Structure 1
Amino acid sequence: MRFVDTGLEGAGQVMLQGNAATGLLFLVGIWWGAVATHSVPVAVGAALGLVVSTATGMLLNSDDASMRAGMYGFNGILVGAAIPTFLAGGAMLWVYLVLGAAASTVVFMAVANVFKTWGAPALTAPFNLVTWLLVLAAFQFLRIRTSPLAEGQFPQHVGAAAARADITVGYLWDTLFRNVSQVFLIRDTGTGIVFVIALLVASRWAAGFALIGSAVATAVVLGMGADADAIGNGLYGFSAVLTAIALGTVFYEPSWRVLVYTIFAVLVTVVVHAALLSAFAPISLPVGTAAFVIATWLFLLPKKRFVPVQHDTIRGGAAEPRQSSGSA
């Protein structure tokens, strides 16, 4: 039961919520969306990645408090969802996935040890690093193939036809919640609604800021003329959702100043995400949640003095939440 509780909290930590009920609802939403979008391997991979990464943390005798908070599971569940999304193959694909999920725990420990010196959390940086390495390595292996999503192409300007969106209530509604569901690489409105409910179970602030981040990101990319289909599928908003939750509710106390600061960070997240799309397209790499990681680090570090702190002041390599005075 302890292992199950730890795993569920790890699932919840993907959106920075150490809550087992939230994690359970996340898994329900993943399976719901995977069935609805005919992508069941993504759900299977997510569950397998969560189990493997959590078990790896236990086998490595990791910090007990961090383990119980689910710190060693959230990168693994994302790796598990990403591998069947961007790669293809038979039995070897699942061996590859297990390797990546286990590696995500080791990479998390390494990144956490480095960044806790400045009081910064590892976030989902291990997920991104492991996924990038696995996708790039797959080009050298006969029995691991890349999916059409990983085909490289040079960046091009978005055409007027692609940027022309038929903005209806339905389009905006779907985009609002698909931005949330795409955190787990699921393109389904129902899944996004389940995820928001899951956040609400843990924190009404987290649910509210997730929707704020989604709405702001949607408005920005529509105004800038990004690809309408990509916007509608939630591909421009998921990192913004994570940034909004992290800065608006976890690492700062909610207030009107924090709200303004968070919205600014969401705008930066959108731009960083677009820049990474252009940079990574030629080498066939998915952007992942890198924009969230970069923007959140940038907007957390100004509150620090850039002086190394004692490692034992940061639990499990993740910055303690609400450590600021409440203003941005």
Structure 2
Amino acid sequence: MSPIKQLIPFIKLVFRGLGQVMLQNNAVSGGLFLLAVWVSMPWQALAMLLGALLGSLQAKFCDYDQCAYQQGVFGFNGALVALGASFFYPDAMWVIWPAVIGFVFLATVIMAQCIKRQYSGLTSPFVVASWILLLSLAHFGIQPVSGVANIGWDWALPSVLQGTLQAFSQVFFQCNNLAGVLIILGLAINQFKATIITVLVAAAIALVMPLFGLSEPAMAGLLGFNAVLCSLVFANRKTLWPLLGAVLISLCFMLVALSLGITALTAPFVLATWLVLSVEKWRIYKL
């Protein structure tokens, strides 16, 4: 077998890692997610790809859980750490790359421990590693850039439609309608029913939240992206309450974070999902 053919399985694995950012064990989905970031901010797409590559290589050489490795599970937290760093520090990335690589390593180690202990880690390794990175750099006087709008090439749309699409693009730190379309397409080719439900959830948030004076964050997708991730987890449940519960809890967490000026990242999604999963386990135990 030629060296190129030997690389193909690993390349697919890395792209599955990109797909796992939105819970998709699908390399094509991962490729569309990468393209979504590329049309908005190409160099951030490269950072995300590098993060997924480093996390996957670490899992390979550290002999982490092989089933999770083959599914790309060790790539997505690293991808998000690198992507987040490129978003928060666009002018300092060439200076802080060694630190970013270190925190990609940390996120992958945390994920490995979650899997070893059979915890549902989700994006918590990314959240923990990114919070520590932000605090560490702030200690050395390197502050994140605020108010960065990752728009790239885009078009204007009605507010509800824009808020819906950007709820998807904000998962990848993008504020771009075209990116939202590509992400939805990446989801639909792997989980069509869950995608329809998730789009409806995002649209409901974009429609309702402006009624409470929250038009700006709703249009930017800031109120919807954690709910989008929750919807993907619970869309295929037989009952509706886990989906609604997770979405509402994540929305409440996000509103609190915005009011306090906290960089929440995907923590509302993680906490809401853990709470609902805990309730589900408790109900099963009681039965």
Bin of the TM-score, shorter chain as denominator length? 0.7 to 0.9
Whether the 8 Å CA contact 1:179–1:238 is kept in 2: the answer is yes
Alignment counterpart, residue 6 of structure 1, candidates 5, 13, 18:
13
Runs of at least 5 residues in structure 2 that lack an aligned partner in the other structure: 1-7, 149-155
Partner of 1:37: none
Whether the 8 Å CA contact 1:212–1:244 is kept in 2: the answer is no
Moved over 3 A (4+): 111-114, 305-308
Q: Does 1:240 align with 2:239?
A: no
Alignment counterpart, residue 148 of structure 1, candidates 146, 149, 161:
146
Deviation (angstroms), 1:269: 1.3
Letter in 1 for 2:209: V
Q: Across the two proteins, how many residue pairs are aligned to each other?
A: 270
Alignment counterpart, residue 276 of structure 1, candidates 257, 269, 276:
257
Partner of 1:161: none
Whether the 8 Å CA contact 1:86–1:149 is kept in 2: the answer is no
Whether the 8 Å CA contact 1:13–1:71 is kept in 2: the answer is yes
SS of 1:139 mapped into structure 2: helix
Q: Does 1:105 align with 2:103?
A: no
Letter in 1 for 2:144: T
Alignment counterpart, residue 182 of structure 2, candidates 160, 181, 194:
194
Whether the 8 Å CA contact 1:216–1:263 is kept in 2: the answer is no
Partner of 1:123: 122
Q: How large is the Cα RMSD of the aligned pairs? A: 2.2
Distance in 2, matches of 1:146 and 1:174, equals 26
In the TM superposition, 1:242-261 aligns within 5 A as 242-249=229-236, 252=237, 255=238, 257-258=239-240, 260-261=241-242
Alignment deviations for residues 281-304 of structure 1 (CA, whole Å, 9 cap, x no partner): 2xxx52100111111111111121
Whether the 8 Å CA contact 1:79–1:100 is kept in 2: the answer is yes
Partner of 1:95: 98
Distance in 1, matches of 2:247 and 2:58, equals 33
Deviation (angstroms), 1:113: 3.8
TM-score, normalised to structure 2, is 0.87
Provide closer, same or farther for how the CA distance between residues 215 and 90 of structure 1 changes in structure 2, counting only shifts above 3 A. closer
Alignment deviations for residues 150-208 of structure 1 (CA, whole Å, 9 cap, x no partner): 9xxxxxxxxxxxxxxxxx97111111100001111111000100111111110102211
Alignment counterpart, residue 53 of structure 1, candidates 45, 55, 67:
55
Whether the 8 Å CA contact 2:124–2:267 is kept in 1: the answer is yes
In the TM superposition, 1:1-328 aligns within 5 A as 1-34=8-41, 40-87=42-89, 88-114=91-117, 116=118, 120-141=119-140, 144-149=142-147, 170-226=158-214, 228-249=215-236, 252=237, 255=238, 257-258=239-240, 260-279=241-260, 281=261, 285-305=262-282
Runs of at least 5 residues in structure 1 that lack an aligned partner in the other structure: 35-39, 151-167, 309-328
Identity among equivalent positions (%) equals 26
SS of 1:146 mapped into structure 2: coil
